[in-house]
Structure 1
Amino acid sequence: MGRLRRLISRDLHRKCYACLLGWALILLPGITASAYTLDNITIVLSDEGTAYEEFANHLNSLLQPSNKTSVRLLSLKNMANDEFSRATANQLVIAVGTPAMVAMAQKPATNLVLNVLVPRATFIKTAKQYNRGQDQRRFSAVYMDQSWTRQLRLIRATMPTRPKVGILLGRESSDYIAALQTAAKEVDLNLNIETVIDDADLLSALRRLLNNSNVILAVPDAQIYNRNNIPSILLTSYRQQVPLFGFSASYVKAGALAAVYSSPAQVSQQVAEIIANLAPGGGLPTPQYPRYFSLNTNQQVARSLGISIESDNEIQRQLKQLSEPAQ
């Protein structure tokens, strides 16, 4: 137990919520810039370093643009106030991360904007707040979070005899309930959901959940799953012998049983394919979940909990065989 506590403190106290993604670099073949020539592709980074630059660098290596296409990298903090005030013919803006997405949502709705590495709930909230939800062909996204179906299928694949899934939701994630219930019905799992109003209710809600659930599924809600709360949630779940499924490789390293996630390189592969299929005068595809994904399990935690699970490759093979919803 002491080793697990030290592991959680070391791996999570020094990471913010936005960095809990556990990205892994993969090598993918190049893709031509587009079915027609874009005048300009601008990649706007929310911040320098970390996963954002990895995404941008890998995307640039995949695009292999023609001499007629300009690809530029722009940091949000260095972006001029009047940047993008005028539309450029055949321009595509790729906003990387939530701050870049919010900044582009406030710009004139003249350019195609594809938002990446953003949570689905945050994208929907931002599009609604800045009246960008009316035309998803011009303001779209590739989410950073996985579909509920894929996450619940991971639980079903690794723990077929534990059908009761506990989920903590906060103010930011309370809208997930209907989609979660639909996915649970499809996968034949039962959900127990507790809604947390404030931090004072967190542990009591978690304990109620643990008493009625076989597993816990973490969701991307910073109110609940932040660097202050995650160690307590993992330790409390572990003491109750209830495994937790995370949404990044960092969770697995810190004590979660398993997680399915998409790396920046995997997301960039999907974005490159979107760009390659753009048509003259056409718009972006509607917002979508990641197409490519990775999977990690923690065999040490599994042994400690007396759980036998298959290899990462075998579980991922099973998940890839199943179709996924686009939105």
Structure 2
Amino acid sequence: MPARRSWTSPGPFLTALLLGLVCLFALPAQARDILLVSTEQSAALQDFAEALARRRPHDQVRLESPENLPPAARLDSETRLLLLGSGALNWRLASHNAPPALTLLVSRVEARQVLGEREPPHLSLLWSDPPPARQLQLALQLSPRPQRIGVLVGPSSEFLLEELQRTAERLGIELVSELQTRAEDSRPLRELLGRSDLLLGLDDKQLYNAQTIKGILLSAYAQNRALIGPTAAFVKAGSLASTYSDQSDWLETLDTLLDEPAEQWPRSLSPERFKVQSNRQVARSLGIDLQGDAELAQRLAEGEKP
């Protein structure tokens, strides 16, 4: 009778093959060159670059000014470009056939001012301003619930009304708007406050800035109207509340995108993760019942799930 062959242990060839596969899968992912480009070199941006480097230890992460770089078209096509601000965006747009890029620290209004209605290929815009639909949903969490939401727009932000109107119709609320073309003209704001229950601010720096916010808030509160947004930076000044994404939220989003093929990057997006910041003193003075910030963020996130 022939001897029975035992399969309890692999032969030398199979052992070597298995060891090779184990070593292959144990190797770190291919290192990438991640280039952050900014016309500003602030401590905050340096901290952001260092945080991204810590999150991706196998990649080479560096922060550079356009002045120290060749034209974008001369960069290696495998470079992962992160454009920080409109100055870096303009540098990238000056070159054709440059590597794909993710653009941060640019709002919808700023992008419109730079790009117009163009949609350059291989350019993804990660919006710095809160999604208008998310801000509208935040307004609807207030008690009493507003029925008419007013939006003040300028020539640079008027294009956002179409998206806001679609969202308002879906949510079953009335959206009213006024166009302000001159900074010194207070009539559009007065008329808007008289026709609405709450004011929704847009990140249009010609309308909402350090010089105008005090007058807007005084006019709104004189008629017992709250202001949502335009960004979390205005909450301390007297805005009621806003959604926002902090550095950890952005790093989470970038970490995912940087591992994807550039051709799969979306045309535009906002981080899925976000937080809510509110002004409790303003809520009390206006007689508004406001849930905790964490609870508000959780309810809004649940509402955005498909």
Assess same fold via TM > 0.5.
Answer: yes
Q: Counterpart of 2:272?
A: 291
> 1:148-200: CA deviations, max 9, x gaps?
21110000012453211111100110101110101111222211100111113
Aligned to 1:210: 193
Structure 2 portions without partners, runs of 5+ = 1-27
Residue 58 (1) aligns with residue 51 (2): yes
Change (3 A) 1:104 1:38: farther
Residues 155-304 of structure 1: matches in 2 within 5 Å?
155-201=139-185, 203-278=186-261, 282-304=263-285
- The change in CA–CA distance for 1:84 and 1:134 in structure 2 (over 3 A counts) is closer
Distance (whole Å) between structure 2 residues aligned to residue 324 and residue 125 of structure 1: 32
How far apart are 1:71 and its partner, in Å? 2.2
Give how far 1:317 is off.
1.2
CA RMSD across the alignment: 2.2
SS of aligned partner of 2:124: strand
Cα deviation, residue 57, structure 1: 2.7
Q: In structure 2, do the counterparts of structure 1 residues 39 and 317 end up closer, same or farther at CA, with 3 Å as the change threshold?
A: closer
For 1:264 and 1:227, how far apart are their aligned partners in 2?
23
Aligned residue for 1:161, secondary structure, equals: coil
- 2:300 matched residue in structure 1: 319
Instruction: Tell whether 2:150 aligns with 1:150.
Output: no
Q: Which residue of 2 aligns with 1:7?
A: none
How far, CA to CA, are the matches of 1:160 and 1:298 in structure 2?
16
Which has the larger displacement, 206-215 or 287-296? 287-296
1:117 aligns with 2:105: yes
Larger radius of gyration: 2
TM-score with structure 1 length normalisation?
Answer: 0.79
- State the partner residue of 2:78: 90
User: Residues 199 and 269 of structure 1: is their aligned pair in 2 closer, same or farther, counting only changes over 3 Å?
Assistant: same
Three-state SS of the structure 1 residue aligned to 2:277 is strand
Amino acid in the other structure paired with 2:188: A
The alpha-carbon deviation at position 50 of structure 1 amounts to 5.5
Aligned to 1:74: 64
Match of 1:49 in 2: 42
Taking a change above 3 Å as real, the CA distance of residues 73 and 161 of structure 1, as seen in their structure-2 partners, is closer
User: Shift of the alpha carbon at 1:38?
Assistant: 5.3
